[in-house]
Structure 1
């Protein structure tokens, strides 16, 4: 018997088979599998993927002292440990030891910083008594050296850029007024960044930063200051509970009972803290992630040591930042403002949230015996700038600090410490620009006049 073969069916089956095989090969290729025709290796081998990217791009990629390409690109390498260096002319190199695993992608995300940063003046009339807003996008400051007397007073500087990518000019929100010593006044920002309490010479007034006010025409809010501050503290408490609830209970226990100066990263996925007691973080507090950070971590906590905990990858890194014998630590210790660390407000995450109506006395933790101490408590809560310590950089991957003579940036996993600036600056005021493009500081550049605000251009 003769069988009739339909060529159209055969072509369809062969085409389908080729598509299936091709798809499987493409998937395996994307996963890092490579064909080898060497007798010493198997015909199909699995590789790790190094996604070498940098900011800016176009940097050389050197692996184990061998140039293999440029950023941004993906390289397929045998599983194992590699010394990776990403460098570009005019920038500090980025270096890290990376562990590649079969079929997994490791991304470098290398941020390169200029070797010779430029200084950009942001004010010209002198600055005193500067205070950043809780969101880090505004500053309030006092100037007394303007060309006209009615231009002396309090100003707001917006740190965000306009649609045309231009810097916004400072805007005056209050002129100097009799009875107010604005050079030494205390500021307390509201949690929503829209209001500031100005405390000076026994007077306490509430400023709306979105319009200009006359200080002597504003009512004194001293009689209801506790009420205002308790409302603000309740708002801060609710936000803190919301952010901290995503961390493992054991980490929250340590942060609330065995640590001080606990600061969330801008993306709310990491916490920076200083241990106050010896304790240990157990392994596997969260399910492990593939291709997690492989840098050495420290889960045995030592009092007085600073750490960063990453809740996504369950990694805890020791931060070797400011040496204990640095001039900065000595100056901070001897400064007029006594050092008091920041503590958390939401220490009751295992219980129902408190409310202002049901428990008004629970929201007076920030309120001290004097207005100056209260202002310091709020300032330290909003920013680690006032805790004489390490600050988060806006990208949540770097931390910012100074030893008194240089300004440093370092990755949160204790790698790539870079001295980005060593010129003249005020060691008690270094602050990141919201998009991470510059660092703010005060300096008079050698003159005897009042210091001005400058931006240290990083990119």
Structure 2
């Protein structure tokens, strides 16, 4: 009887030992440890993990010139520096120098773009005076060449995905009316994207974008425009203050005193800015993260250069996006001046927040002496399309810009600069589709007399 009990205890102990040992081995294996039977190496060595993934998948993974597999897959490699290339037929290759550390995973997240993108027309009756909404999901524009006169006027094109995932048709919100020069009118969007102040020929009317309006019957809001814009600016101030408060104080000091054209990324974790003065960003502003981006940084900023700061990883990258062409260099340089740059509303984070009731005059910073200048100030605040022309892509990992002859995408850490389109386009209007699958531009193709809106298919 005693022998039987001891046997059961022994079996239990052996089973527990095997389970514990197997679990430890599995954990170590998942961490990148590998056994070695070579006398020149330790019996167990730690490796780094390269998680090679791409969009789309099925791309070749080439490391130091050698094909090692395809995406999506994880590869265990000796710690060190590697030149990684991910390529697929019909797409531009993705390349980056990566540093692998023991037990840590480095993910590629390689976005591949088509070598030969196609053009898809979105309008057919001409597009003039186009303006995107603050959230980037709507466009307002004027057309004057529709088949019927009552179809000329202002239209809204909704870029957001529908339930059936089909392209939505432009929706007319107002017809042409006597005394309203819609082709040269100014638009000021509300922060919630539901209203637009239309200014032209001395008229100031408020358009509700959810319904069709008759211009001649709308009341003039010129007498209360100041109050409307003050309320909108206060709303923008509160939002901006909330988002910027998550960044280190040292970065906010640079953004408010040594930079202009400060734009938050769509995920609110990075800022794009142009330096106006020399400054040094201190190291270690946030606790270091494992497997953080190892691309070269530029923590000493120089006037006229463009940078991206990532608050999650405390990385600051100089982005080479300014063309060598003198005309575009002049535009980029002049846009850094205060009178052309975007206004940073929440530049008082070290102080208590202002309120609309206590400080109504504090929320008229974007209101200028003319309607045109006021509209320009709001447009530049909403989109960098109207300041330096360098725009965040919806994935918060790429920047969109042009040198006048091609349209480019570049990763925020200054790698993988790709000319995604070199056909005909309007240099004054390139704009990303909300999901990043397309880039919008204006162009005239074939016998079309007026420019129309086209989508450049990237994926």
CA contact (8 A) 2:85 2:96 kept: yes
Matched, 1:122 2:125: no
Aligned twin of 1:393:
393
Query: Deviation per CA, 1:15-51, whole angstroms, max 9, x where unpaired?
Result: 1111111111111001000001111111100000000
Between 89-98 and 339-348, the greater mean CA deviation after superposition: 339-348
Do the aligned partners of 2:343 and 2:366 also contact (CA within 8 Å) in 1?
Answer: no
TM normalised by structure 1 equals 0.97
Count matched residues: 456
**Structure 1: 4+ residue segments shifted above 2 A:** 2-6, 324-335
Give the structure 1 partner of residue 318 of structure 2: 318
CA gap 1:334/1:39 in 2 versus in 1, 3 angstroms: closer
What corresponds to 2:417 in structure 1? 417
Q: Secondary structure at the match of 1:255?
A: helix
Deviations 1:73-109 (A, max 9, x none): 0000000000000000000000000000000000000
The SS at the match of 1:6 is helix
Give the conservation status (yes or no) of the 8 Å contact 1:333–1:339: no
Q: Distance in 2 between matches of 1:259 and 1:339?
A: 13
Q: Tell me what 1:384 maps to.
A: 384
Match of 1:158 in 2: 158
What is residue 214 of structure 1 aligned with on the other side?
214
| In 2, Cα distance between equivalents of 1:448 and 1:11 | 85
Question: Residue 13 of structure 1 aligns with which residue?
Answer: 13
Q: State the 1:351 CA deviation.
A: 1.0
1:77 aligns with 2:77: yes
Are positions 1:99 and 2:111 aligned together? no
Distance in 2, matches of 1:163 and 1:52, equals 32
Partner of 1:185: 185
Distance 2:428 2:329 in 1: 11
C-alpha distance in 2, partners of 1:415/1:131?
30
Aligned pairs for 1:32-431 within 5 A: 32-329=32-329, 340-431=340-431
Contact 1:126 1:143 in 2 (8 A): yes
The answer to whether the 8 Å contact 2:334/2:340 transfers is no
Preserved CA contact (<8 Å) 1:274 1:306: yes
CA shift digits 1:139-158 (9 cap, x unpaired): 00000010100000000000
Deviation track 1:274-325 (CA, whole Å, cap 9, x = no partner) reads 0000110000011110000000000001001000000000000000012243
Partner Cα separation in structure 2 for residue 257 and residue 333 of structure 1: 18
The answer to whether the 8 A contact 1:329-1:403 is kept is: no
Task: Supply the distance in 1 between the matched residues of 2:448 and 2:457 (Cα, whole angstroms).
Answer: 24
Alpha-carbon spacing, 1:332–1:26, altered in 2? closer, same or farther (3 Å): closer
CA distance in 1, matches of 2:440, 2:239: 27
CA spacing shift, 1:421–1:145, aligned 2, 3 Å: same
Post-superposition Cα deviations, 1:209-238, rounded to whole Å, max 9, x if no partner, equal 000000110000000110000000000000
* TM-score normalised according to structure 2 size: 0.97
Aligned: 1:22 with 2:12: no
> Residue deviations 1:117-140, cap 9 Å, x none?
000000000000000000000000
Quick check: 1:328–1:402 contact (8 Å CA) kept in 2?
A: no
Shift in Å, 1:8: 1.5
CA RMSD of aligned residues (A): 1.5
Asked if structure 1 preserves the Cα contact closer than 8 Å seen for 2:308 and 2:317, the reply is yes
Where does structure 2 lack aligned partners over 5 or more consecutive residues?
none
Asked whether the 8 Å contact 1:136–1:434 carries over to 2, the reply is: yes
- Cα drift, residue 10 of structure 1: 1.3
Contact 1:177–1:216, Cα closer than 8 Å, also in 2: yes
Q: Is the 8 A contact 2:121 2:455 kept in 1?
A: yes
Alpha-carbon displacement from aligned partner over 1:318-362 (angstroms, at most 9, x marks no partner): 000122435444577899xx9700021001101111000000010
SS in 2 for 1:183: helix
Supply the distance in 2 between the matched residues of 1:221 and 1:65 (Cα, whole angstroms). Answer: 65
Cα distance in 1, alignment partners of residues 32 and 281 from structure 2: 35
- Secondary structure at 1:295 match in 2: coil
Secondary structure at 1:442's aligned position in 2? Answer: strand
Cα displacement string for residues 395-420 of structure 1 (whole angstroms, at most 9, x for unaligned residues): 00000000000000000000000000
CA contact (8 A) 2:261 2:388 kept: no
